[in-house]
C-alpha cells in the first residue's frame, strides 16, 4: 500500500490523513485570496472515503451558498473546502500536507483574478473560471 498523505494546521491541533489524492491545482479566485491572505491557493482532492480527521476537528465557515471552508479554530490555518451538498471529495489546502512536495498542481483556475504582478510560466493549463468538468 502506498504511503498515506498526512497533514495538519500550523499549531498541530487539527490533523488529517488521506490514503489517496486524486488531483491538484491552483485557484486564483477572490474568495481563496480573501480566506487565505495569499495571492493563490494550491488545492488537492481526497475522496471522502479515503479521508479522515485524525486529531481535533476543524471549524467550518459557509463561505458561499455552494461550499464551506474548514480551518483550525486555534491558529486559523485554512485546511479544507467542502461543497455544502453532494460532496465526494475533501479539497485540501495542499501546503498543509506534511510533504506538499509529493503532490504537484496540474492546472490553474479563476485566472481572470490572478494578480497581475504574479508571473507564472509553468506551462500548465489555465481556465478563466472553474475547470470544465
Give the whole-angstrom CA distance, residue 114 versus residue 69. Answer: 20
Q: Which residues of 63-93 are buried (b: 16+ CB within 10 A; e: fewer)?
A: eeeebbbbbbeeeebbbbbbeeeeeebbbbb
Among the listed ranges 5-13, 82-90, 99-107, 123-131, the one in contact with Zn ion (CB under 5 A) is 5-13
Q: How far is CA 102 from the centre of its chain?
A: 15
Hey, is 102 helix, strand or coil? helix
Task: Please state the closest distance from residue 75 (CB atom) to Zn ion, in A.
Answer: 3
- Binding of Zn ion by 44 (CB under 5 A): no
Among the listed ranges 57-65, 67-75, 100-108, 117-125, the one in contact with Zn ion (CB under 5 A) is 67-75
- Binding of Zn ion by 95 (CB under 5 A): no
Among the listed ranges 31-39, 45-53, 86-94, 113-121, the one in contact with Zn ion (CB under 5 A) is 31-39
How many chain residues touch Zn ion (CB under 5 A)? 9
Task: Please state the closest distance from residue 1 (CB atom) to Zn ion, in A.
Answer: 28
Task: Please state the closest distance from residue 36 (CB atom) to Zn ion, in A.
Answer: 9
Q: How far is CA 54 from the centre of its chain?
A: 17
- Binding of Zn ion by 42 (CB under 5 A): no
- Binding of Zn ion by 40 (CB under 5 A): no
**Cell numbers given for 108:** 490553474
Instruction: For residue 96, give Cα distances in angstroms to 9, 12, 72, 80.
Output: 6, 11, 11, 9
Q: Which residues here bind Zn ion, judged by CB under 5 A? A: 9, 11, 13, 27, 29, 32, 72, 74-75
Amino acid at each position: 500500500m502506498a504511503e498515506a498523505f498526512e497533514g495538519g494546521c500550523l499549531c498541530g491541533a487539527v490533523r488529517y490523513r488521506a490514503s489517496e489524492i486524486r488531483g491538484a491545482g491552483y485557484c486564483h479566485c477572490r474568495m481563496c485570496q480573501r480566506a487565505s491572505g495569499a495571492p493563490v491557493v494550491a488545492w488537492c482532492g481526497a475522496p471522502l472515503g479515503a479521508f479522515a480527521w485524525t486529531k481535533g476537528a476543524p471549524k467550518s465557515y459557509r463561505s458561499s451558498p455552494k461550499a464551506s471552508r474548514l480551518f483550525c479554530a486555534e491558529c486559523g490555518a485554512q485546511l479544507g473546502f467542502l461543497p455544502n451538498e453532494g460532496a465526494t471529495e475533501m479539497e485540501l489546502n495542499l501546503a498543509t500536507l506534511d510533504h506538499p512536495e509529493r503532490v504537484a498542481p496540474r492546472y490553474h483556475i479563476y485566472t481572470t483574478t490572478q494578480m497581475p504582478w504574479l508571473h507564472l510560466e509553468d506551462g500548465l493549463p489555465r481556465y478563466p473560471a472553474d475547470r470544465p468538468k
